[in-house]
Structure 1
Amino acid sequence: MTGYAGRVRIGLEAGAVVTWESTGAWRVLTPLTGAGGWREVHLVGQSGGLKGGDRQHLRLDLGTGTRCLLTSVAAEQVLPGEGRRARSRLAVQVAPGARLYWAAVPLIPHRGARLRRHLTVVAAPEALVAVEEYVLAGRVGAGERWADVELDLSQHWWADRRTLRLADRQRLGPAAAAGGEEAYWSLTVLGPPALVELLDPLAEELAPGLWAGLAEPAGGRLLRVLGSVAALEDWRRTVRERLLPVWLGAAGGDGSGPRPASGVRGLALTH
């Protein structure tokens, strides 16, 4: 059995000094300063993709007052491994006043892929954490639509080590092919209500061909969207353009800025 392990630590100190470290199969490119003054951190996976039997671990710690946009430089591949399951564990701890937006890259499961991924978030009071999940139905260009794949995606969000704020589990596989959707995307956010609620109008103005459901756990939102890759790419771009400047603390970072216009609420998804 092969395995990959990685640990990433990111911090923002007074005077805009950034510290970071990485070990194992992950590397961190030199953090950049985004247009809004936040830090942009890009992860590089050096394993070539997960294969059945692999194990992957990633930990992210954000210090007090950190504002960070986290993403990866390329899509994640999940490869088959003789029926075995790949396992991925992601752990995020966010200090008081910190803000994180984890911008997902596409997760592409190849035919026969099996993946169990679990995310744990511990977010201090007044922190804002937003995490995307983005999964393609397979090698869409080759005509694959959830063909012989099993994806088990779960998450637990905590206020501290004892207080659970959100628990969710999503399974994706051949049953998802019935509607012909090419991709699944979700956004989970917890934080100050004035900031979290800015997602609500966006959730109501979906483009044609997208189907969505919005859940409202205490202090947060969980938005799920199904549709074509092209429509979802446009949607993700809209979400980021509208919310990143506010959520990561540029002008209007207290939630008092202009709110998106409302539209038609989408349909609920089952899980």
Structure 2
Amino acid sequence: MTNHLANLEPQRVSARAELSISHLHGRPRLSRLYQEGAAKIRLPRVDDGPLEAVLINTAGGLTGGDRLHWSVDVGTMAAATITTQACEKVYRAGDGRAEVSCGLSVGAGGRLAWLPQETIVFERAAFSRHLDADLGDGAEALIVEATVFGRRAMGEAVGHAMFRDRWRIRRNGRLIHAEDFAIGPDVAGTLSRAAVTGGDIAVATVLLICDDAPERLEAARAIVGDEGGVSAWSVGQSGKLLARLFATDSYTLRKRLVPLIELLNGQAGLPKIWSL
């Protein structure tokens, strides 16, 4: 008897979700929500402050061939905090790579805090992420991405994998921040270099775009300490603060990442789900 199941192609994730927020009657309001496939968005009740949205990948992780797209539009004078239900896991890729794209826009005078929980990369994973943001006049954005290459507490290690992360941030169409981070296939060898992390496996990038970003430089440096760095400057009409952190594991990383987010996110602080 022929085993037809052996000839079937593995099912892949192809999902997208879109969220739009408006400023109405003195507070941020949901104006549009679209969900397709494994991409879901939930909106916890928040009495005041920014609208809070939680992104969920119901597939439980990503592997080669998966495609996931998030789109967030924060309207004029609106404010939103976007996070994830849990850490995103990128598993071993048998073929191809997992791809995630994030399209963010913030209208004039609006504010967006993009605060997903950590991405956990497993051995032999292949992953690519593109993050594109366009800000209007006076708009502010706090963008955080943290990555952990294996979970030491679980006895996991990542020797070989492919990881790509591309950011493009614009104000009114003008490029004000660009970076491309790439590591692999020899992840362990690269991280072991003193000029990279000296063997630490948890890393984070934190970017704040707002007029007074440079004024928070010294306070941010006091939090980050020697295991990372912080710089601040102005690009055109935009103030910018950029921090990079590294640590031995995600728990140790969070001990500095959490207070840094609280410093840079003002009264909005940390998403509630981060403390669950």
For residues 188-199 of structure 1, the aligned pairs below 5 Å read 188-192=207-211, 194=212, 196-199=213-216
Q: State the partner residue of 2:244.
A: 224
**Counterpart of 2:14 in 1: which secondary structure?**
coil
- Are 2:204 and 1:204 aligned? no
What is the alpha-carbon distance in structure 1 between the residues aligned to residue 228 and residue 234 of structure 2?
20
Q: Cα–Cα, structure 1 residues 62 and 207, in superposed 2: closer, same or farther, change >3 Å?
A: closer
**Please, which runs of 5 or more residues in structure 1 have no aligned partner?**
249-271
Q: State the partner residue of 1:176.
A: 191
Q: Is the 8 A contact 1:214 1:223 kept in 2?
A: yes
For residues 192-271 of structure 1, the aligned pairs below 5 Å read 192=211, 194=212, 196-206=213-223, 210-214=227-231, 216=233, 218=235, 219=238, 220-228=240-248, 229-246=250-267
What is the alpha-carbon distance in structure 2 between the residues aligned to residue 222 and residue 245 of structure 1?
16
What is the alpha-carbon distance in structure 1 between the residues aligned to residue 230 and residue 89 of structure 2?
26
Q: State the partner residue of 1:124.
A: 136
Q: Cα–Cα, structure 1 residues 187 and 48, in superposed 2: closer, same or farther, change >3 Å?
A: same
**Please, which runs of 5 or more residues in structure 2 have no aligned partner?**
1-10, 270-276
Q: Is the 8 A contact 2:21 2:80 kept in 1?
A: no
Kindly provide the CA deviation profile for residues 217-240 of structure 1, in whole angstroms up to 9, marking residues without a partner as x. 623122111113333111122123
Kindly provide the CA deviation profile for residues 79-125 of structure 1, in whole angstroms up to 9, marking residues without a partner as x. 12225211111110111111011112010011100111110000011
Q: Cα–Cα, structure 1 residues 145 and 109, in superposed 2: closer, same or farther, change >3 Å?
A: same
Of the three residues 166, 178, 182, the one matched with 2:177 is: 166
Cα distance, 1:146 vs structure 2: 3.7
**Counterpart of 2:18 in 1: which secondary structure?**
strand
Q: What residue identity is the alignment partner of 2:231? A: L
Cα distance, 1:171 vs structure 2: 1.6
Q: State the partner residue of 2:53.
A: 41
Equivalent pairs, count: 244
Q: State the partner residue of 1:263.
A: none
Of the three residues 197, 201, 206, the one matched with 1:187 is: 206
What is the alpha-carbon distance in structure 2 between the residues aligned to residue 245 and residue 159 of structure 1?
22
- Are 2:65 and 1:53 aligned? yes
Q: What do you get for the CA RMSD once the two structures are aligned?
A: 2.2
- TM-score with structure 1 setting the length: 0.82
Q: What residue identity is the alignment partner of 2:191? A: A
Q: What residue identity is the alignment partner of 1:182? A: I
Kindly provide the CA deviation profile for residues 46-95 of structure 1, in whole angstroms up to 9, marking residues without a partner as x. 12111111111111111111111110111101012225211111110111
Q: State the partner residue of 2:121.
A: 109
Cα distance, 1:42 vs structure 2: 1.2
Kindly provide the CA deviation profile for residues 130-174 of structure 1, in whole angstroms up to 9, marking residues without a partner as x. 11010012122234444212111110011133x211110112333
- TM-score with structure 2 setting the length: 0.80
Kindly provide the CA deviation profile for residues 158-210 of structure 1, in whole angstroms up to 9, marking residues without a partner as x. 1133x211110112333114422130011112222x2x124412332146672
Q: Cα–Cα, structure 1 residues 143 and 38, in superposed 2: closer, same or farther, change >3 Å?
A: same
